[in-house]
Amino acid sequence: MEFKYDPVPFIFEKGDLFTKLSVLEMVDLWNTPLADKLLLELLKTQNKDGGFPSSFDPKLSGVKETERVAYLLRKCGMPKEGLVLSGCMKFIVKFQTGDGGFCENPKISLPEDIDWLSGHKGVAWLSVDIIDLLRLFGKENTRYCQKTINWLRRMELPEGGWSAIEGDETVDPDSSAQVTFLMKDLLGEEDTLYKRGRKLYEKYLDQTAMDAEQGFHLWHGKNEENDVYHLTHLLGQSFFSGKRGSDSGYDIHDDRIKKIVEGIIKLQREDGGFKPYWSQESDPLYTGLVLRIFLWVKAMEEEKIKTMIHKVVFVD
């Protein structure tokens, strides 16, 4: 697969420290002088409470940002017992609800139109991300990790699937995909929740492939032009989720995945980036996520992406 424009210059010109370091790490360039420089600058942003600044309010630490930065730092070789990552973990575990899910820092005032995150109720996709982080730290058998896994299993909706926020009765395809493949990872292909979740995933994947082919999707009864979020949300919701789906056979050899990848390429803008529906401009993070997804689904080889990076920035 080929992009219309090279996305790497846009990522390294407009991206933040997290995005640029994540792109280097995904092609095993994390142990380089450029990555070291980015890492040191990223570490300087850690707050005294152990968390990292929220994108909604940089004066406060966000659970979402902290778990993602912590995951990245660990993948870049930082010791899990060190002060930085220990501080991250101490900050994150404070936000487990009584039921077992994880929520965002309640001190952060979330915009009214944000319906996929909560500072008071458990958030399914965030809880999956935190389980992944706990497992990376070797804490999968701890009480709080097992409590979160049990909470997710109880959270399955009567008709199948998962909502984004505890108490919501609407199926969220993104959250359902993450929980579904986590359950396979934890409990195997015979797990009943995984089997039900995969049937639902097939349904959503069929529809997204159709949307990608026709160039639009139905949203609240109206046809809306596709955007990068709509076409990527089933394949990877963050820099650290989605690989389990490709490991289950959802890669470029699946005709639906091929259609989605082709649809994503059509959305690329002249600056090399991709624009999610809530933004007026191309977004470096989502542009980097497209690269990650293409790598996961085997639409692009690691060496090719590495070569693209070397052409734009001096890594070594």
- For the chain, domain boundaries: 8-312
pTM for the predicted model, two decimal places: 0.95
Q: How far apart are CA 31 and CA 77, in angstroms?
A: 8
Answer for the pair 230, 211: CB distance below 8 angstroms, yes or no: yes
Query: Are the beta carbons of 39 and 50 closer than 8 angstroms?
Result: no
> At the topology level of CATH, where does 8-312 sit?
Glycosyltransferase (1.50.10)
Using one digit for the tens of pLDDT, what is the confidence trace for 255-282? 999 999 999 999 999 999 999 999 999 9
Six-digit token string for 201 = 């995933």
CB burial class (10 A; 0-12, 13-18, 19+) of residue 61? buried
How is residue 61 annotated by DSSP?
Answer: E
> How many CB atoms neighbour CB 54 within 10 A?
21
CB neighbours of 203 closer than 8 A, spacing ≥ 6?
Answer: none
Return phi, psi of residue 37, to 5°: -65, -45
Q: What is the residue whose two structure tokens read 């909470």? A: 151
Predicted pLDDT at 238: 79
Strand pairing partners for 53?
61
The residues of the chain scoring below 50 in pLDDT are none
Whole-number pLDDT of residue 10:
98
For tokens 């709509």, name the residue: 230
Bridge partners (DSSP) listed for residue 225? 216
pLDDT at 241: 75
Strand partners, 218: 223
Distant-in-sequence, close-in-space partners of 163: CB < 8 Å, separation ≥ 6: 124, 155, 157, 169, 170, 171, 172, 175
Distance CA 101, CA 154 (A): 11
User: What is the pLDDT at residue 240?
Assistant: 75
Q: What is the pLDDT of residues 11-68, one digit of tens each?
A: 999 999 999 999 999 999 999 999 999 999 999 999 999 999 999 999 999 999 999 9
